[in-house]
């Protein structure tokens, strides 16, 4: 395997103008969303004087995104996905306009913030699900891992750059300007998405009921690969790295330095970006299901290592490994789900996948906080890592359809 096999595969960007437009739109959108997230935390804390108020904002966003994901999945399998994506992103943009207008008032209302956040969560859930369902039709089947890596890369780069930019805007001006920039970024996103052609769902596969969530669940339960992925994904989402405990880690183990807190949050994204930039080999792996299980197992072990670490450098390395393993898992999960799901069901299956991830993030914070009260932050991380590693081993043994899962491969010319 040559060096070029490890370089990030950008073929989907070069060969598909529609995917290129979506990639650029997603990058712009995530930068804006990252800035808005920082502004929301800052503004709501100022308005309420309470971390509980910030937690309510997160909960409202998560719950409405969950509803939007499920509803968006059903609608995305009924109609052309292009106008659905454009309309939902435009609706999100109106939500950011509302946040900006409220922020510029002499006495901003926290209830207006919650209302706009709920509206944005609903719209984002719809657009994200429809976009995930449509993207596989824009690239070749064998390019799904490369497309998944590029999509993942935008998210991880955004998690590094966007919060910093949001902090700068708030420091120089105020949250209202951060929302304004996000609204403009969303408008640019909508403009870029208008360059994408029609994206109607393809019918086929003999499915009788193409409009209900029940039929999607029935397909997932019966499919040896997709069902295993959804089950393992539920466990890994709930028992992931306990980021909610990072402040307590810093306070009790690493001296209370706020700079250290920033490093803990950044380390997983750094590991993810490094692997993304050297991910060319993912598209050529012959046993993607087995590699996915290995990534889940490695991520669990690294989480255990983080929980046991007493030195900051060790903790950062372990978190970087969780980020690296996480992006391998994320890319292969995306690729396998899209490859093994008929297009007429992709909206609903991706809606379930998004809902699972969103609800997992909401419950994961409560789960980690509860474990930390029973044990301590390190003990909570050890338990979470052990559960993820054990789940990967159980899936490897009990779900042969996942262990043996394959992807479409590039055909090679064997003519002498």
- Whether residues 269 and 181 share a domain: the answer is no
> Per-residue pLDDT for 318 more than 90?
yes
267 torsion bin: left (phi>0), alpha (psi -120 to 50), beta (else): alpha
- With vertex at residue 220, the alpha carbon angle to CA 303 and CA 405, rounded to the nearest 5 degrees, is 65
Q: Are 174 and 71 in the same domain?
A: yes
My answer on whether 184 and 261 are in the same domain is: no
- The answer to whether residue 341 sits within a structural domain is yes
Q: What are phi and psi of 348, to 5 degrees?
A: -70, -40
Q: Is residue 203 part of a domain?
A: no
288 domain-assigned: yes
In angstroms, rounded to a whole number, what is the distance separating the alpha carbons of residues 295 and 389?
A: 9
Q: Give the model's pLDDT for residue 210.
A: 55
- In this prediction, residue 206 carries a pLDDT of 44
> ∠ at Cα 183 (351, 136), nearest 5°?
30
The pLDDT of residue 207 is above 80: no
d(CA 292, CA 392): 9
Please tell me the predicted confidence (pLDDT) of residue 4: 56
Domain limits for position 341? 210-409
Which has the closest alpha carbon to 182: 85, 64, 107, 94?
Answer: 94
Q: Which two tokens stand for residue 257?
A: 């330095």
In 3D space, the residue among 394, 218, 364, 358 whose CA is nearest the CA of residue 303 turns out to be 364
In a domain, 205, yes or no: no
**H helices within 278-310, ranges in order?**
288-308
Q: Is the pLDDT of residue 389 over 80?
A: yes
Asked if the structure places residue 200 within a domain, the reply is: no
Assigned domain for 97 exists: yes
Q: State the number of CA atoms in the 13 A half-sphere of 12 facing the CB.
A: 28
* Helix, strand, coil % over all residues of the chain, rounded to 5: 80, 0, 20
Pair (57, 187) in one structural domain = yes
pLDDT band (50, 70, 90) for residue 117 = very high
The rounded mean pLDDT for the chain is: 84
Q: What is the mean pLDDT of residues 376-382?
A: 90
Do the domain assignments include residue 146? yes
Collect all residues with Cβ–Cβ distance below 8 Å to 208 and sequence separation of at least 6. 215
Most confidently modeled range among 48-62, 86-100, 226-240, 254-268: 86-100
pLDDT digits (tens, 9 = 90+) for 336-377: 998 888 888 888 888 888 888 878 777 887 788 888 888 888
Question: Higher confidence at residue 244 or residue 317?
Answer: 317
On the question of pLDDT at 41 being above 90, the answer is: no
- The CATH number of whichever domain residue 331 belongs to comes to 1.20.1250.20
> Which stretches does DSSP call E strand in 117-187?
none
CA torsion, points 361, 365, 370, 374, in degrees to nearest 10?
A: 100
Specify the pTM: 0.79
Radius of gyration of the chain, Cα coordinates, nearest whole angstrom: 21
Q: Is residue 177 part of a domain?
A: yes
């Amino acid at each position: 395997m040559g060096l070029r096999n490890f370089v990030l595969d950008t073929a989907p960007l070069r060969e598909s103008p529609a995917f290129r437009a979506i990639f650029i739109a997603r990058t712009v959108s995530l930068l804006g969303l990252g800035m808005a997230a920082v502004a929301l935390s800052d503004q709501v804390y100022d308005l309420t004087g309470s971390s509980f108020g910030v937690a309510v904002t997160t909960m409202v966003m998560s719950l409405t995104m969950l509803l939007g994901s499920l509803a968006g999945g059903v609608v995305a399998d009924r109609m052309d996905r292009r106008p659905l994506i454009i309309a939902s992103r435009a609706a999100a943009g109106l939500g950011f306009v509302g946040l900006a207008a409220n922020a510029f008032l002499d006495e901003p209302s926290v209830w207006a913030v919650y209302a706009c956040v709920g509206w944005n969560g609903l719209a984002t859930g719809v657009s994200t699900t429809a976009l995930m369902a449509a993207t596989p039709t824009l690239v070749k089947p064998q390019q799904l891992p490369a497309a998944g890596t590029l999509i993942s890369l935008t998210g991880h780069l955004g998690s590094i750059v966007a919060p910093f930019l949001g902090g700068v805007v708030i420091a120089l001006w105020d949250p209202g300007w951060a929302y304004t920039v996000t609204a403009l970024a969303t408008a640019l996103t909508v403009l870029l998405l208008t360059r994408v052609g029609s994206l109607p769902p393809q019918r086929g596969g003999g499915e009788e009921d193409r409009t209900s969530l029940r039929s999607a669940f029935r397909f997932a339960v019966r499919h040896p690969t997709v069902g295993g992925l959804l089950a393992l994904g539920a466990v890994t989402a709930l028992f992931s790295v306990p980021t909610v405990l990072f402040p307590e880690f810093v306070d009790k183990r690493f001296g209370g330095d706020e700079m250290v807190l920033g490093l803990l949050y950044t380390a997983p994204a750094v590991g993810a970006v490094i692997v993304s930039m050297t991910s060319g080999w993912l598209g050529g792996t012959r046993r993607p299901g087995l590699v996915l299980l290995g990534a889940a197992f490695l991520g669990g072990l690294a989480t255990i290592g983080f929980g046991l670490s007493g030195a900051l450098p060790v903790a950062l390395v372990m978190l970087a490994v969780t980020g690296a393993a996480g992006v391998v898992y994320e890319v292969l999960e995306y690729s396998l789900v899209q490859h093994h799901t008929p297009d007429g069901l992709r909206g609903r299956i991706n809606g379930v996948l998004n809902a699972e991830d969103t609800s997992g993030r909401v419950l994961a914070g409560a789960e980690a906080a509860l474990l930390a009260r029973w044990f301590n932050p390190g003990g909570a991380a050890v338990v979470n890592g052990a559960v993820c590693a054990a789940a990967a081993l159980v899936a490897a043994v009990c779900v042969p359809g996942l262990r043996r899962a394959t992807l479409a491969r590039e055909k090679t010319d064997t003519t002498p």
